[in-house]
Structure 1
């Protein structure tokens, strides 16, 4: 990890600063929106708008990069982000905020595509996994740090909007001044959704549902915390708990997935996540219990993203793995767009407890569908000593651009090719 930090410190520092600003403004939306009198459903649409823009940006950014290059795209989108963040308190209307959130999601997605392709270009086959792990860890640390700043400010004023604008502006300086050469990038050749579904119905449905879970946890958690009456400091700690739990449980769950049937582990983690969410409905009166529940919820749900990637790849030919990444990003994005409005309607109907009930129902749907699929298809897992599936890449929480997913896919391709050269029949997993 030290070697990775030494070679990519500018990019890692820049993305850390960017995520502090992103984490701060993301949580601030729910708090300030409540102060301005926005309804729960309006706030859910504002949260969903971010993912709509993010999905569009991940598809269009490679075309912009191919046309004008990494540096210009990076600088332009960075300017947009800084201007957008500071614009929210100027026009405090739900429709205006939705438009700004679409633009913000689009711009941030483009920045991720640019930065991650840059990082991927500078990594070797031996360091790429460590590089992406470190990159995602820095993002998580930035998101947590952003919650600490939120706890120390006044959400009714301008300062908490100015700070992320400054941090975003500063974040691009070390990256743009770095001497690392810019990579070339080609447009993604996505696998059709039909082909991806035929290859792994459970993987596609699970990824769709998981998009709703992630969007619910991160777009609507500040709204939930505000509605149950948490103070600003308590709200920040509550949201941070989702990320801390993900950091702690990501590796142990990944380690287990390489030693047992991934499908069983996905069902177990989703089922436990559903039970934890139901506990949130019952134990919401206790702040300490809420912190524990949030940590377990994030820790059980976020690793499912990488688990599902690993599971889907167990049923793909080596040459199809990279092409499938575009479809996975798209499916997850659709779920992320649809999740907040549904959650907002549930919270408007039954109050704050609808937040946990939504998470429980979606994770329960993953569990039930996984159990059903176990009756329809044999597992790729045979025995521990003879398991030929490509190892789980313990890299990614459920937030990343198309390039992050493709980078993880490259690791799978490399691992699969190495296993094939050793005589393993990776490409002919049981279907």
Structure 2
């Protein structure tokens, strides 16, 4: 691991700073927008706009990289993100924020693809698994650290908007000054959605649902906290609990999934999430209990994404990896666009409890679909190895994770 960190530390430091900056602005906008009397539906459009931009960026960024190179794309998108972050408190209109969120999402998609290509090119086959694990841990730690920064400023002021802009700007210094050469970027073949569905219906549907859950959870958590009259510090603690839960649950869930039918694990987790969300929606819980609920929700949602990737991998051939990863990421991003929109609408109808209610409904739907699919097809005879993966990763990281999963199973 030390050798891997010695090779990749500029990238790891840069990614951590990027995640801190992205995490701060995501939570901060939810709080500031609600305090500015934006309706929950208006805030849901703002939050969904990021995922729309991310989806567009994931499709267009590879062509940009091939045309002008990694360094130029990296620097251009970083400058764009840094500029937009400063504009938020200057242009406090939800329509303008929505447009800027599309730009931010587009920029981060391109940056993630560039960074993950760099990582994939820097390490060897023998160290790729360790590098991917370190990369995912760094992403999670950056997001967790971002919530702590929210206590150092006023959401009505400028400071908290300047901090992510500065961090994003600083993130590019270690990466752009690194001595490792920029990688080549080859376009992967496309895998049709109909074929992807035939390969793994649970993976196909699961990715759509996972995207909706993830975007609703992380896009609207701060809006829920503000509407529930939590203090600024309590909102930061609530969102932190979501990420900490995801970090803690990754390893034990992965350990179980390599030893039994992954659909069984997904079913148990989905049922548990449904029940916990029902309690949170209909029972007035003290703040400490809400932190436990948040940790459980994050602890289920993050590993669920990795489980779906691993389960789909069980039915893929090596030559299908790149195309399948691109398709799965697109499905996740498409589902993510609608998560905040429906959550915001539901919160406007039934109040803050709509946050938990919508996520619970999605997990209930997921549970029912898994049960039906388990009656239609047996588990694969040989399963690939589970690899933890963040829902914010691009298709580059997804492809690497899929390939490492098959290597871990001894298949080719």
TM class by shorter-chain length? over 0.9
Take 2:363 and 2:5, find their aligned partners in 1: how far apart are those partners?
Answer: 36
TM-score by length of 1: 0.94
Deviation at 1:126, TM superposition (A): 1.2
Take 2:68 and 2:55, find their aligned partners in 1: how far apart are those partners?
Answer: 21
Q: Which moved more, 1:4-13 or 1:311-320?
A: 311-320
Residue in 2 aligned with 1:412?
405
Take 1:124 and 1:291, find their aligned partners in 2: how far apart are those partners?
Answer: 40
1:400 matches 2:393: yes
Take 2:151 and 2:375, find their aligned partners in 1: how far apart are those partners?
Answer: 48
Residue in 2 aligned with 1:109?
109
Aligned residue runs from structure 1 range 294-305, under 5 A = 294-305=294-305
TM-score by length of 2: 0.98
Q: Which moved more, 1:398-407 or 1:364-373?
A: 398-407
1:136-176 deviation digits (Å, cap 9, x = unpaired): 11111111111111122100011111111111111111111
Residue in 2 aligned with 1:9?
9
Residue in 2 aligned with 1:390?
384
Aligned residue runs from structure 1 range 324-335, under 5 A = 324-335=324-335
Residue in 2 aligned with 1:173?
173
1:225-276 deviation digits (Å, cap 9, x = unpaired): 1000111111001001011001100010001001001111111111111112
Q: Report the 3-state secondary structure (helix = DSSP H, G, I; strand = E; otherwise coil) of the residue aligned with 1:220.
A: helix
1:158-202 deviation digits (Å, cap 9, x = unpaired): 111111111111111111111011100012322110000011111
Deviation at 1:279, TM superposition (A): 2.2
Deviation at 1:283, TM superposition (A): 4.3
1:210-236 deviation digits (Å, cap 9, x = unpaired): 100000110000000100011111100
Deviation at 1:415, TM superposition (A): 4.0
Take 2:386 and 2:108, find their aligned partners in 1: how far apart are those partners?
Answer: 27
Take 2:275 and 2:291, find their aligned partners in 1: how far apart are those partners?
Answer: 15
For the 8 Å contact 2:58–2:106, the answer to whether it is kept is yes
1:85 matches 2:85: yes
Take 1:104 and 1:359, find their aligned partners in 2: how far apart are those partners?
Answer: 25
Take 1:189 and 1:278, find their aligned partners in 2: how far apart are those partners?
Answer: 42
For the 8 Å contact 1:246–1:298, the answer to whether it is kept is yes
Residue in 2 aligned with 1:151?
151
Residue in 2 aligned with 1:384?
none
1:36-58 deviation digits (Å, cap 9, x = unpaired): 11000000010000000001111
Residue in 2 aligned with 1:209?
209
Take 1:169 and 1:143, find their aligned partners in 2: how far apart are those partners?
Answer: 17
1:19-48 deviation digits (Å, cap 9, x = unpaired): 111110000011110121100000001000
For the 8 Å contact 2:112–2:394, the answer to whether it is kept is yes
Deviation at 1:118, TM superposition (A): 0.2
Residue in 1 aligned with 2:290?
290
For the 8 Å contact 2:7–2:123, the answer to whether it is kept is no
Residue in 1 aligned with 2:269?
269
Q: Report the 3-state secondary structure (helix = DSSP H, G, I; strand = E; otherwise coil) of the residue aligned with 1:59.
A: helix
For the 8 Å contact 1:284–1:290, the answer to whether it is kept is no
For the 8 Å contact 1:54–1:106, the answer to whether it is kept is yes
The two structures, once aligned, show a CA RMSD in angstroms of 1.2
Take 2:269 and 2:302, find their aligned partners in 1: how far apart are those partners?
Answer: 10
Deviation at 1:332, TM superposition (A): 0.5
Take 1:166 and 1:321, find their aligned partners in 2: how far apart are those partners?
Answer: 37
Take 2:190 and 2:126, find their aligned partners in 1: how far apart are those partners?
Answer: 26
Q: Report the 3-state secondary structure (helix = DSSP H, G, I; strand = E; otherwise coil) of the residue aligned with 1:187.
A: coil
Take 1:303 and 1:284, find their aligned partners in 2: how far apart are those partners?
Answer: 27
Where does the alignment leave 5 or more consecutive residues of structure 2 unmatched?
Answer: none
Aligned length: 412
Residue in 2 aligned with 1:366?
366
Q: Report the 3-state secondary structure (helix = DSSP H, G, I; strand = E; otherwise coil) of the residue aligned with 2:411.
A: helix
Take 2:408 and 2:190, find their aligned partners in 1: how far apart are those partners?
Answer: 21
Residue in 2 aligned with 1:225?
225
Aligned residue runs from structure 1 range 232-243, under 5 A = 232-243=232-243
1:132 matches 2:125: no
For the 8 Å contact 1:212–1:338, the answer to whether it is kept is yes
1:327-354 deviation digits (Å, cap 9, x = unpaired): 1011111110011111111100000000
Residue in 1 aligned with 2:184?
184
Instruction: Tell me: CA distance 1:399–1:172, structure 2 relative to 1, closer, same or farther (3 Å).
Output: same
Deviation at 1:414, TM superposition (A): 3.6
Q: Report the 3-state secondary structure (helix = DSSP H, G, I; strand = E; otherwise coil) of the residue aligned with 1:260.
A: coil
For the 8 Å contact 1:52–1:337, the answer to whether it is kept is yes
Residue in 2 aligned with 1:315?
315
